[in-house]
Every structure is written in structure tokens, then in C-alpha cells.
């Protein structure tokens, strides 16, 4: 009997990919301010995404994420020189998956498995490839 399910879509960040290393990096680079920076950065990512969508001014998620980082740093009075900004942004391209992701994807391999996310295609492709998920997942 054929299953009615043909494809399964997964959210990327927080579902497949563990973003905690970004939190850890913020803590290391901004001791005592890492958690505040992370929370402010994430809030600005969402705010900027929503505002740009509502106003019809789409902007790539990578650019939104970078703008949100710079805004969060300015608001908190934290210096974020180019090298540090690049390091923090790059962390989103090299995220580990949660421990149960690869076994789950393996068990679901008979379906078409895709990522559905507001992350940019370049961000998602890099994260998928760097995590070794290029075979089971399509972005």
C-alpha cells in the first residue's frame, strides 16, 4: 500500500541544527554580555524579517541576520569589528545537528526530505553540507 505522505519538511534552526554554539561564541567574545547579545540579536532578526516582509522590502536572511547583529551590538554598546562580525556570522554556517537528527533522517529516507526555513538558500546549503546532511536533505 502506498503512503499518502510523499515528503517531509523540517525547520532548520533549533530543529535540525543546534544554535547553542552561536550562544557559546557570543559568551566567549563578549564575557558577561553574551546572553544579552544573543537574545537581542535573535529579537532583531525576527523584527527585521517581519518588518521587511510586511513592507514588501524582502531582504536575504543573511543580510537580515548581519543587520540584526550590528544593531544588537550598537544597542548594547559592544564593539563588533569586521573580523568578529565575520566570525559570529560564520557560526551559522557550521552548526552541528542534534544527536537524534541523523538517525531520524535515516529512518525516514524513503520520503523526500527537505528543509523549510526563513534562512537564505546559501546559509541553509552551507549548514546542510557542513553538517554532513547533503545526501538525505534537499534545500
Q: In Å, how far from its chain's centre is CA 115? A: 12
Contact 69, 85 (CB under 8 A): yes
Query: How far is Cα 40 from Cα 6, in angstroms, rounded to an integer?
Result: 39
Contact 47, 11 (CB under 8 A): no
Query: How far is Cα 59 from Cα 63, in angstroms, rounded to an integer?
Result: 7
What residues pair up with 137 in beta bridges, in sequence order? 113
Contact 8, 112 (CB under 8 A): yes
**Set 11, 35, 60, 96: catalytic member:** 11
27 belongs to the catalytic site: no
The residues carrying an active-site annotation are 11
Amino acid at each position: 500500500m502506498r503512503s499518502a505522505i510523499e515528503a517531509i519538511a523540517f525547520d532548520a534552526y533549533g530543529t535540525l541544527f543546534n544554535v547553542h554554539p552561536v550562544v557559546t561564541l557570543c559568551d566567549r567574545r563578549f564575557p558577561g554580555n553574551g546572553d544579552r547579545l544573543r537574545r537581542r540579536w535573535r529579537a532583531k532578526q525576527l523584527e527585521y524579517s517581519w518588518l521587511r516582509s510586511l513592507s514588501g522590502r524582502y531582504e536575504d536572511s543573511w543580510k537580515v541576520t548581519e543587520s540584526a547583529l550590528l544593531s544588537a551590538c550598537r544597542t548594547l554598546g559592544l564593539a563588533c569589528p569586521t573580523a568578529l562580525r565575520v566570525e559570529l556570522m560564520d557560526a551559522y554556517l557550521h552548526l552541528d545537528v542534534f544527536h537524534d537528527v541523523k538517525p531520524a533522517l535515516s529512518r525516514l529516507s524513503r520520503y523526500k526530505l527537505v528543509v523549510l526555513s526563513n534562512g537564505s538558500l546559501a546559509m541553509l546549503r552551507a549548514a546542510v553540507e557542513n553538517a554532513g546532511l547533503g545526501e538525505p536533505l534537499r534545500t
